[in-house]
């Protein structure tokens, strides 16, 4: 579907962006009465379970999280 292509395109375009978390399109079956009607997008979820690599910058004010967590302002 167009939504899945947009999600994949967004993931590819931001693959090298620091701190980017990819998204995943999830589908669900659609039924019309008792007849299968295909699939539809059920949700788009962010993948918070996978961490990227931590790259040193040499700047004392740059931060990273190793493991579970979020920056909160």
Query: For residues 30 and 13, what is the distance between their CA atoms, to the nearest angstrom?
Result: 31
Alpha-carbon separation of residue 29 from 4, 34, 72 (angstroms): 15, 12, 37
Residues 6+ apart with CB under 8 A from 8: 25
The pLDDT score that the predictor gives to residue 36 is 63
The pLDDT score that the predictor gives to residue 67 is 75
The residue ranking higher by pLDDT, 12 or 44, is 12
pLDDT tens figures, 14-70: 888 877 888 888 877 777 666 666 777 777 777 767 677 788 889 999 888 877 777
Res. 8: pLDDT tops 80? yes
Query: For residues 39 and 1, what is the distance between their CA atoms, to the nearest angstrom?
Result: 10
Query: For residues 31 and 33, what is the distance between their CA atoms, to the nearest angstrom?
Result: 6
The pTM assigned to this predicted structure is 0.55
The pLDDT score that the predictor gives to residue 18 is 76
């Amino acid at each position: 579907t167009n939504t899945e292509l947009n999600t994949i395109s967004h993931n590819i375009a931001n693959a090298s962006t620091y701190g980017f978390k990819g998204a995943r399109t999830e589908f669900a079956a659609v039924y019309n009465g008792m007849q299968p009607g295909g699939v539809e997008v059920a949700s788009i979820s962010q993948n918070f379970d996978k961490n990227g690599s931590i790259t040193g910058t040499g700047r004392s004010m740059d931060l990273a999280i190793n493991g579970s967590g979020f920056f909160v302002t």
